Amino acid sequence: MIFDPLIRNPHVQTLLGSALRALQRPLRGRFSPINTPDGDELPAFWSGRPGPLLLVVVHGVGGNHEAREGVSLGRHWVWSNLGSVLLISLRGAYRTPLHPLLYHAGCSDELDAIYSWAHNQVVGNQRIVLVGYSLGANIVVKWLAETRHCLSRLAGAVSVSNPWDLRACCEHLEQSWMGRCYRTVMVRTLKQRGSGLARKYPNLLCADQIARSRTFRDYDSTVTAPLHGFADVEDYYRRCSSAQFLAGAQAELICLDALDDPFVPRDSLPHRAPPGVTFVRPPHGGHLGFVGQRGQLWMEHFICWQAGNWI
């Protein structure tokens, strides 16, 4: 399925894709929180529909179960009669969690609870498709290599615009004016979530330090690394970058990455595809853009087409 871009500029693709997806109306369904083993809840949206597949969407840095990419894909999924949709919020992405934890690039263990919940919803021969966007893609790939779940119900997974090397992506965003603009918007959201947790746990996090964070590295040094037991920010980036987990993926995996993604340096993309892993790398598309001719949201069409091949 070839991507024919409406516009070849990566920044226009990124921003236009986001704007067009924001126009999508909400899915019909219900709020359905998922319990975690430690007694917390992951907010989630469930749209139960007849069909052969169950879609689970994992959002990116600034998202949650209301993120426009997930809602847009969910609507296309339903239009394609593929089945049910589960949109999830990782820890702290929608509301302040009960425990001093926040989602990050390595929180793949949370997908165990999500997958168990989804597994309990399948009917008959229905199978699960897991889709991760941006940071969510990093988490999905890591989970596919680490989980001890039996994945017989998993039809396949799709990673979209994955920041395969976390350190390289953070450094790449600092090298251009547009990159720093993207970073400012995303870090602002992270700071809001981190500050909410700092007010609840002032002995663990310093709200003033969080407020002074400008870059991803600042935030991860102040919040992510110390809160989640990493030695430092370098240890976090090294242990959680998903490229190293690719060879261990235990299910069929499609990796969709535009070669002009302004968030991801091209030389950080993995070069070897182990059995069961397929790289799809259009020259254009930006970061979660992939707007085709006549404004077609090609990313959603591609994922639904791929899922149809797994039925």
Degrees, nearest 5: CA angle 101-44-14: 85
Whether residue 3 is contained in a domain is answered as no
The answer on 37 and 177 residing in a single domain is no
Are both 89 and 137 inside the same structural domain?
yes
Q: Of 179, 214, 240, which closes a domain?
A: 240
- Which CATH number covers residue 80? 3.40.50.1820
Per-residue tokens: 87: 């949109």
Render each residue's pLDDT in the chain as its tens digit; 311 residues.
899 999 999 999 999 999 999 998 999 999 999 999 999 999 999 999 999 999 999 999 999 999 999 999 999 999 999 999 999 999 999 999 999 999 999 999 999 999 999 999 998 899 999 999 999 999 999 999 999 999 999 999 999 999 999 999 999 999 999 999 999 999 999 999 999 999 999 999 999 999 999 999 999 999 999 999 999 999 999 999 999 999 999 999 999 999 999 999 999 999 988 899 999 999 999 999 999 999 999 999 999 999 999 99
Cβ proximity of 11 and 291 under 8 Å = no
* Backbone torsions φ then ψ of 4, nearest 5 degrees: -110, 100
Q: What is the pLDDT of residue 47?
A: 97
Q: Which string of DSSP letters, residue by residue, matches 247-299?
A: GG--S-EEEE--TT-TTS-GGGS-----TTEEEE--S--TTTT-BBGGG-BHH
Q: Of 231, 195, 289, give the one whose Cα is nearest residue 3.
A: 289
Which of 50, 91, 92 lies closest to 192 in space, CA to CA? Answer: 92
For every residue of the chain, DSSP letters joined together read ----BS---HHHHHHHHHHHHHTSPPPS-EE--EE-TTS-EE-EEEE---SSEEEEEE--TT--TT-HHHHHHHHHHHHTT-EEEEEE--TTSSS--SSS----TT-TTHHHHHHHHHHHH--TT-EEEEEEETHHHHHHHHHHHH--S--TTEEEEEEES--SSHHHHHHHHTTSHHHHHHHHHHHHHHHHHHHHHHHH-TTT--HHHHHH--SHHHHIIIIIHHHTT-SSHHHHHHHH-GGGGGGG--S-EEEE--TT-TTS-GGGS-----TTEEEE--S--TTTT-BBGGG-BHHHHHHHHHHHHT-
Is there a single domain that holds both residue 152 and residue 196?
A: no
Number of domains in the chain: 2
Whether 62 and 145 map to the same domain: the answer is yes
The span from the first CA to the last CA of the chain, in angstroms, equals 17
Give the structural domain span for 258.
10-165+251-309
In-domain check, residue 284: yes
Residue 65 lies in a domain: yes
Assess contact for 82 and 52: CB atoms under 8 A: yes
Q: Which residue, among 57, 72, 86, 77, has the nearest Cα to 17 in the 3D structure?
A: 72
Question: How much is the pTM?
Answer: 0.96
What is the per-residue pLDDT for 43?
96
- Sequence-separated (6 or more) residues with CB below 8 Å from residue 19: none
| Shared domain check, 108 and 90 | yes
